[in-house]
Amino acid sequence: MMTPSILRLFKVNGIRLLAAGTLLSSLTTVSMAEEVPRVAALSRAESSRATASQQNKYTFIMFYKDQDETTKSMWNTLSQNLNGKKETTSFVAVNTNDPKEQKIIEEYGVSRAPMPLTLAVAPNGAITGSFVKQINDDYIQQAFVSATKARCMLNLQSRKMVLLCVNPGGNTGVPAGVEAFKAIPCYKDVVEVVTVDRSAPGEGDFLKELEVPASQESSIVFMAPPGVMIGQYSGKVTSQQLIAELKKAGKSCGVEGCKHCKE
């Protein structure tokens, strides 16, 4: 069952962040020699996003079809809120009728979406906010998430399961049961293991959303796309337990390979 805390990972202002059939990918690092021709080939919106990613900034992309009052209002709100946050954000408008921007329009699958639509994109490529027709300061602020939350969101949006290991201070290890599960051939390519220090700055709100209990031991949060919490366990969980929980979730796994795994 999807818990309310997990649901908030994928909804902002009631809008689901992962559209069916949308393939999300993060930008790869390139050398300076490769960077110039690559950037030159990007559209204005793609270039804005790429530059922001390299500078560890968020990008707010406003897609629109007509310059009506709703579009103007959304753009004015973005401008007023983000002009003073240029060290952490960039924002760009994309007309969905612009042939030069068709690649990014197809990437996010927004050609038939209600307009205007603003997507908030974290530096790692995760969509952390989706706002249709209206946006305000609170919505914009909610789009800024912790590094660990952004990493979990990106993997889930990329159709991968996530095993989040919440460790006590100073412990960076991965529990044996998680390692054993990740090593199973039919799971290894569809599961991402993410670790976080329980006391890491900026991660407290995310751990509260997940309802991770305060403990001196490791906690494991098992998530599957598009936003299903399969379960939460202690660091002593075994691979057999994880397999059993995943099979119990059935189609909720959200990953094609799960249906064929016989381990």
Residues 151 and 188 in one domain: yes
The pLDDT-based confidence of 226 (bands split at 50, 70, 90) is: confident
- Based on the domain organization, do 156 and 117 belong to the same domain? no
**Any domain includes 240:** yes
176 and 138 both lie in a single domain: no
Are residue 163 and residue 101 in the same domain, yes or no? no
User: Region 140-152: what's the mean pLDDT?
Assistant: 96
Are 115 and 165 in the same domain? no
Question: Quick one: 158 and 200 in the same domain?
Answer: yes
Phi, psi of 103 (to 5 degrees): -65, -45
Does residue 7 form part of some domain? no
9 lies in some domain: no
Mean pLDDT score, 21-30: 30
Nearest to 166 by CA among 199, 191, 126, 201: 199
pLDDT tens across 159-173, in order?
999 999 999 877 778
Tell me, yes or no, whether 227 lies in a domain. yes
231 in a domain, yes or no?
Answer: yes
In a domain, 28, yes or no: no
Quick check: is 12 in a domain? no
CATH code of the domain covering residue 70? 3.40.30.10
Rounded Cα distance, 48 and 61, in Å:
9
Q: Which of 86, 120, 143 is the last residue of a domain?
A: 143
pLDDT at 24 over 70: no
Residues 123 and 171 in one domain: no
User: Residue 64 corresponds to which tokens in the numbers above?
Assistant: 């629109």
Token representation of residue 122? 């974290």
Alpha helices in the chain (DSSP H): 4-10, 32-40, 44-54, 69-82, 102-108, 137-142, 147-157, 176-183, 204-209, 239-249
Percent over 70 (pLDDT), the chain:
80
* Residues 69 and 116 reside in one and the same domain: yes
Q: Is residue 19 scored above 90 in pLDDT?
A: no
C-alpha to C-alpha distances, 178 to 134, 161, 197, 206, 263, nearest whole angstrom = 42, 12, 16, 21, 15
Range of the domain at 56: 44-143
Residues 129 and 153 in one domain: no
209 and 123 fall within a common domain = no
Residue where one domain finishes, among candidates 96, 124, 143: 143
Q: How confident is the model at residue 41 (pLDDT cuts 50, 70, 90)?
A: confident
Structural domain includes residue 21: no
pLDDT tens profile 174-210: 999 999 999 998 888 899 999 999 999 999 999 999 9
Q: Is residue 126 located within the same domain as residue 96?
A: yes
The confidence score (pLDDT) of residue 28 equals: 29
pLDDT score at 260:
56
pTM beyond 0.85: the answer is no
Mean pLDDT across 12-38? 35
Tell me: do 104 and 63 sit in the same domain: yes
Among 116, 143, 170, residue at a domain's last position: 143
Indicate the number of domains in the chain. Answer: 2
**pLDDT over threshold 50, residue 47:** yes
